[in-house]
Every structure is written in structure tokens, then in C-alpha cells.
Amino acid sequence: MSRTQCLEWFKHFKEDRMSVGEDPRPGRPSTLTNDDHVERVRAAIRGNHHLTIREIADEVGINTEFCHQIFAEKFQMLRVSAKFVPRLLTDDQKKKKVLKSVRNCLPMQMVMKTFLRTS
């Protein structure tokens, strides 16, 4: 942090400001993340979950920055391996993932046992 910025914060705290958050700014609030745009983005994802952020933003008619904001804040989603996936898995999803991994590992374990016996 620069010396100027430190002096600026010192001045704010000296004036009894205890919050480090931003002050409300004048002007009209953003309407690009309203419910209509959120639903249109959701419909675009349901239609084809392999779309990129840019393609979805173009389809809905909003900026890519606002499209990112909708995914992060409204849907709690991030982009992984060409699909949009939830950041947090539910308990059922976790159990299914573990069971799938176990099922995939069991045949390999049987192969390794027979391989080790023959050597």
C-alpha cells in the first residue's frame, strides 16, 4: 500500500470512520443483473452448458463482466472443464462422487492383485 493511501485511510479513521467498505456512490444502480437477465442467463445455460461466458453474454445482450457477476453471485458457479458446475456439492452429490470413484478403483485393485501374484 502506498504512503498516500495509508495517509488517506489514517485521515478517514481519525474522523471516526470505522468501516473499511466503500461509501455509497451517487447515480443509478446497475440494472444489468436484474431478475430478467438472471433468468435469461439460466435459460441459456440449461439450453447448452458448453457455452462460453462471451457467448452467453452476447445471447442475453449484457456485458461479459455482468455475466461473470451473475454466475459468481447469483448462481454460485464457476467454469470448470467446459461446463458450469456448482462451487459447493450437496451431500448426495458428494456420496455419488465417492461411490463412482470406489467403483472405478475396485476393478483396478483386482487387476493389481492378480498382477502381483504372477510376478
Residue 25, helix vs strand vs coil = coil
Q: Could you tell me the residue ranges of all domains in the chain?
A: 30-88, 89-119
What tens digit of pLDDT does each residue of 73-82 get?
Answer: 888 776 554 4
The C-alpha atoms of residue 68 and residue 65 are separated, in whole angstroms, by 5
H runs (alpha helix) in 1-119: 3-14, 35-47, 53-60, 64-69, 91-118
Which residues are 94's β-sheet partners?
Answer: none
Res 81: pLDDT? 45
Which residue in 71, 61, 53 sits closest to 31, CA to CA? 61
What tens digit of pLDDT does each residue of 19-62 get?
Answer: 766 667 677 665 556 888 889 988 888 888 778 888 988 998 88
CATH code for the domain defined by 30-88:
1.10.10
Length of the chain as a residue count: 119
